[in-house]
Every structure is written in structure tokens, then in C-alpha cells.
Amino acid sequence: MKLAKTLGELKKSGYRNLSTKDELRKNLLEQIKAGKKRFPGIVGYDRTVLPQLENAILSRHDFILLGLRGQAKTRILRQLVDLLDEYIPVIKDSKLNENPFAPISSRFKKLVEEMGDRLEIEWLHREQRYNEKLATPDVSVADLIGDIDPIKAVREKLDLSDEEVIHWGIIPRTNRGIFAINELPDLQPRIQVSLLNILEENDLQIRGFPIRVPLDMLLVFTANPEDYTNRGNIITPLKDRIASQINTHYPSSLGDAKAITRQEAWSARGSEITIPELVRDIIERISFAARRSEYVDQSSGVSARLSISAYENLISNIERRAALNKENDHFPRICDLYSVIASIVGKVELVYEGELEGPSILAVNLIGEAVKETFDEYFPAPRREKSHPDSRPEENIYEAVIDYFSTGRKLELSDEMPYAEYKKQLSQIAGLKQMAESYYPSRDPRETFLAMELVLEGLHRSNIIAKESPDNKFIYADMIENILRN
């Protein structure tokens, strides 16, 4: 398609101009009717956030996404660009992306009258029609709206009352586009006031200039509920003018959480690294455990970045072990999970009791809780023998494992241990392999050994056997002996 270069050519082409909100509305309806996927890569919001978001666009609303950290708020806003037309015509050299059919500045109004159909136009791509600003306490009205530029007035010999001496801020420069403000409560109240006219009357004023600049744009915002008390708030008049408030949330299912991590984590390492679903489940359950922990400040949230970072660290630990042992074994172990502590301690805000517990101890407990939950999914709950004389004790499938340790023997594993030694250690316990194969069938023998280790860790988390962790080693032992010794 040949793009018009003058206003006359644009008129002959039959181009029909729409406002930004009408353009978004039209394109969204077309995508819905065509059954096209909207907002690709956004997982878990299909029945909650996205319908509300689409309703806001169809209603031509400015809106705010309200949610805790790591809930894809910024990503959603940046994908709004895909609902814009690929190109729109603007007056050439206009800093406000002015519509050739309806200029808004005095300079280009005059130019349109003088040039008529000979007026030069250029085409603006949709990617150039989106701007965003991270709200910080030092943001000024001049940054967002604009201010008088005395240097420009002197250089061009203009009177300070001339509209041309204005240096436009980022919002008017996004005219006929989408402007986003992230973390809105961090914006000082007096700066928030400057947005009121733009939201309600679609215009702005600069330092009392007797001008009205009608802007055509969609304004969108993000905010974290925690910020309302910790760093600031949204002033009531501004909140009233934001037509739709859409609450985001963390993934509600393990499947959604794994899909997000699989999509976002860097796993293309050049080596053939296979991560079974069992380990992926444990990684995600760490975040779920943190989101319900009484030691974690739930008002701060637990970002999806925790699982993503943990998954990447897990893969890195597998790579490191293979390099240390000069072998080609790139398969995870349960003991590899403790390498993700660094991904947990920096991503959870602790309450007072959590600080007393200590972030590293809490991280270990969260990993243990995730492992125990996964163990319970695949293996029967450990049973203790009944001591009542009139009842026979229930069969304990873990009896052979418990007996191994009750004789005083110990078993040592490590995330740096060569694969052959790792197999040898786990194979010492008679019946452990058969039990793992029975409840967790797998074609890959390495996954069977992973399940064997899961049994040991599950029994430890069920307080059946003890475990010590000196110098990154994991030593399983008899519980009673361990208690008496300590």
C-alpha cells in the first residue's frame, strides 16, 4: 500500500480518521470476531483480568491495573500497542503528532490554512505511539505536561506569551497514542492534580497560558496496593476520574504458574537439560507456600519472578555439577533444590516473626514444604505402627527404609556428587528403588533415582527420619539417634 505524502493525497485515498480510543475499540472488536488471540503470553487471566480489560477498552475508558508485584501489569499495558492501527498520518515535523484534518497548535493550524492540500504529512508507526513513565517523587509537572523554555524564546526571538516557547512534556508528545504511568501512588499529589484536566476534559494548560490543547489519547496506570500506605496514595479526584479499576492476581493453579515460568525463564543453555514435571511442580509450590506463609508479609506479595529465578538457578546448579565432575549428566536431584535459596531470600518481605526466624531458614522451610506437598501427591502418607494390643499394625511400605537408618547407618548425598556415586548411595537401601518404581513409574532411570531421593526427603519432612546439612552435604539418619545425640 502506497502511503500518501500530502493532505490532498490523503483525502483522495479515502482515509477515515478515528480517535485513539475509537481506534482501539474498532481493532479489538475485529480481533474478537476473528477469534484472534489477544494479549499473547499473558497466562491465567483469561476469565478474570482480560475480560475486564477488554470491557474497559470497548467502553473507551482510561483505566488502572491494581495488583501486587510480578503480576504482568506493565506487560499488559505494553501489549495495548497491538490494538492500534499499524500507521497513522501526522503533520510533518509536528511534535504533538497532530492530525492533518484537525491540527491543535496555532502554528500548524496556520500552516494548514496556507498549504491546503499541499501540506506535507508523514506516517507514525504504532510502536511510536506508546510512552510510559515510572512515577518517582522527583517527577515534575514540566516532565509530564511541559513548561516555558526561555532559552528557546531568546534564541528564536519570541515573546514569552507566544505558544511556540513551550517545551512540551512527555504526555502531549504522546498525543494520538497511549501513555502509561507505572506506580502511580509514588507520584506526588500536586503532580497528580496536573492529570485531572487531561482525564476529564482531554486538554491541558501550561503555566496559565490562555491556550487549550485538546489531546486525543488513552491514559493507563499501574499501582501496587502496598504503596497506598508505604509510599503515597492516589488522590481522590484522580481516582474518581479513572473510569475502570482492574485488579490483577497471581496464578491460581500450578499449571498456570508452570506455564509462566516455562515462558519466562532462560533455559536454553546449550546443553541437553531435562527437567521433569515433578521438579517443576516443586519449584512452583515454593511460591505458593510463600504466599500462604504467616512469616511472609502478604501485603507485599510474592512475585512470579521468584519461581523464574529459582528455575534458572536450579538449571545453573545442574550445569555447574556437570562441569565440576566433567560428565554429561544434566539431570536434577532433590538436593539441587537448595541451590535456589538465593532466589527466595531477596524476593520475600518478612514480618517480624519471619525476621526472627531468619530469611535463609525460612527459605529452607519453604522448599521443604513444597517437597513434602509433592511427595504426598505421589506417595502414600507414612504410617506409624499402632500400639493397641487388639489391633494389628497397618502395613508400612517405608519399613525397609526406616529399618535401614534405625540400625545406625547413614546415607550421604550432595549436589556436587558424581552421578555414579549418587546412584550407589541411593541403591544401598533395599526396596527403595522398587517402591519408587511402583508409585512413580518412569522410563528414565535417572528419574527413578530422583523419586528415590524424594522418598527420603518426604520421610524427613514427615519427621520419620532425620537429616543434617553440613557443608552442602545432606546426611540422612535415624530420628531417635539424632535426637539423643543432640
Kindly state whether residues 373 and 444 are assigned to the same domain. no
**182 and 132 in contact (C-beta within 8 Å)?**
yes
**What pLDDT is attached to residue 72?**
95
**173 and 212 share a domain?**
yes
Is residue 383 assigned to a domain? Answer: no
Q: 268 and 230 in one domain?
A: no
Residues 337 and 455 in one domain: no
Question: Do 49 and 135 fall into the same domain?
Answer: yes
The CATH number of the domain where 108 resides is what? 3.40.50.300
Task: Judge if 76 and 178 occupy the same domain.
Answer: yes
Sign of the C-alpha dihedral computed for residues 269, 274, 279 and 281 taken in this order: positive
| pLDDT tens-digit profile, the chain (486 residues) | 578 999 999 999 999 999 999 999 999 999 999 999 999 999 999 999 999 999 999 999 999 999 999 999 999 999 999 999 999 999 999 999 999 999 988 889 999 999 999 999 999 999 999 999 999 888 998 899 888 776 766 676 666 666 677 788 899 999 999 999 999 998 999 899 989 988 887 777 776 666 678 899 999 999 988 755 556 789 999 999 999 999 999 999 999 999 999 999 999 887 788 999 999 999 999 999 999 999 999 988 999 999 999 999 999 999 999 999 999 889 999 999 999 999 999 899 999 999 999 999 999 999 999 999 999 999 999 865 555 555 555 678 899 899 999 988 999 999 999 999 999 999 999 999 999 999 999 989 999 999 999 999 999 999 999 999 877 789 999 887 777 676
- Residues 370, 284, single domain; the answer is yes
- In this structure, are 404 and 369 located in the same domain? no
CA dist 278 and 304 (Å) reads: 19
Please count the structural domains in the chain.
3
Eight-state DSSP code of residue 337? G
171: in domain: yes
Q: From 460, 458, 455, 454, select the one nearest 479 (Cα to Cα).
A: 460
pLDDT for the residue numbered 105:
86
Q: Is 64 exposed, middle or buried (0-12, 13-18, 19+ CB in 10 A)?
A: buried
- Do 202 and 331 lie in one domain? The reply is no
Angle in degrees, CA 157, 163, 168, rounded to 5: 105
Domain boundary among 247, 278, 300: 247
Instruction: Give the pTM.
Output: 0.89
List the beta bridge partners of residue 90: 122
Is 315 domain-assigned? yes
Kindly state whether residue 124 falls inside one of the protein's structural domains. yes
Instruction: Examine the domain organization and report whether 135 and 191 are in the same domain.
Output: yes
Check residue 162 and give its pLDDT.
65
* 394 falls within a domain: no
Do residue 302 and residue 374 come from a single domain?
yes
Domain boundary among 378, 407, 439: 378
CA 465, CA 406: separation in Å to the nearest integer? 9
Residue 197 resides in a domain: yes
Q: Which of 319, 348, 378 is the last residue of a domain?
A: 378
Full residue range of the structural domain in which residue 420 is found: 399-485
Residues 270 and 303 in one domain: yes
